[in-house]
Amino acid sequence: MGGNQTWITQVTLLGFQVEPTLECFLFGLFSVFYAFTLLGNGVILGIICLDSRLHTPMYFFLSHLAIVDMSYASNNVPKMLANLVNQRTISFVPCIMQTFLYLTFAHIECLILVVMSYDRYVAICHPLHYAVIMSWRVCITLVAASWVFSFLLALVHLVLLLRLPFCGPHKINHFFCEVLSVLKLACADTRLNQVVIFAACVFILVGPLCWVLASYTRILLAILRIQSGEGRRKALSTCSSHLCVVGLFFGSAIVMYMAPQSRHPEEQQKVLSLFYSLFNPMLNPLIYSLRNAEVKGALGRALRKERLS
């Protein structure tokens, strides 16, 4: 580290470089999306907590997905909204913390989606042993391990990030402190960071995605053997909801972090970031509520109970 290098104390997030009128429109649109994200995931979480019929492993995992989605969006979207009303600066320490939390929640979401696919695999392929295999002890262990491992992996990225000298430029061409954009502020060799990020993506994205696809191949074969048309429709409905969520999240994240960066200009990277920062957390509760008869039934019972009270 050279003697003329100094740490920056604050950075400017360039955000979406568009016309002021379009910024106002985007602020209103993204505010509505963020409100729906909090409302939708909050409703899902509340229904699962209040309806005893949903106190099953599948909905236990879904409740954690809702918590992660709300946390994920709340970490990224408020700063993006502030950026759209020209509050573009952020102190360096909160910026680094935003990066750390962003990585933590992204990792947790990946692992929770994998755990949910395993739950569906056991439920459909080994229904007679489901209660034993997916006991509450196993469920709590899987969720706790997902949170702890995600925190530790994000901590590795944080330590590697903080070892670098940050001396400029003072601008990040993004709407939040995304890890690849923050690395561009470093005035040192960042190849180790990039290698670790790529290796983590292979481990946390490609590996889990292969596991999910393998699980659903077995699930599809098992569904095709179900004699009851109603049972087949119910199984397909539950699994298709989860596959929609997996496709949206893993697809956008893999394109963002594993495709050659030269193929994705910075403005295109911002659009990709919107998918897993805002759109996915908003769409998850809609997908699960609109395509899941049990969730719709629980919501209907809650609304009827509210009208009668």
The contacts of residue 69 (CB under 8 Å, 6+ apart) are 37, 41, 109, 280, 281, 284, 285
User: Both tokens of residue 227?
Assistant: 């004699």
| Calpha distance 12→84 (Å, rounded) | 13
> Which tops the pLDDT comparison, 178 or 142?
142
Single-letter amino acid, residue 56: T
**Half-sphere exposure for 210 (CA within 13 Å, toward CB):** 6
Of 1.20.1070.10, 3.40.640.10, 1.10.3720.10, 3.40.109.10, the CATH number of 10-308 is 1.20.1070.10
CA pair distance 237, 288, nearest whole angstrom? 9
- Of 173, 158, 164, the closest CA to residue 98 belongs to 158
Listed residue (104, 138, 76, 120) closest to 223, CA to CA: 120
Judge whether 45 and 69 are in contact, CB under 8 Å: no
User: Which pLDDT score is estimated for 28?
Assistant: 92
What are the structural domain ranges in the chain? 10-308
> How many CB atoms lie under 10 A from the CB of residue 289?
17
pLDDT for 260: 66
The helix (run of H) or strand (run of E) holding residue 77 is helix 57-84
Chain segment 82-119, per-residue pLDDT in tens: 888 877 888 888 999 999 999 999 999 889 988 988 99
- Read off the tokens for 281: 């957390």
Write out the two tokens for 30: 């993204």
Length in residues, the chain:
309
Q: Which of the four pLDDT bands, split at 50, 70 and 90, describes residue 227?
A: low
Predicted model pTM: 0.86
| pLDDT tens, residue by residue, 172-202 | 888 888 888 888 888 888 889 989 988 888 8
Buried b or exposed e, range 99-109, using 16+ CB within 10 angstroms = bbbbbbbbbbb
Helices (H) and strands (E) in the chain, counts: 12, 3
pLDDT at 38: 93
| CB-based contacts of 148, cutoff 8 Å, min separation 6 | none
**From residue 151, how far is each of 101, 139, 167, 213, 275 by CA, in Å?**
9, 19, 27, 25, 22
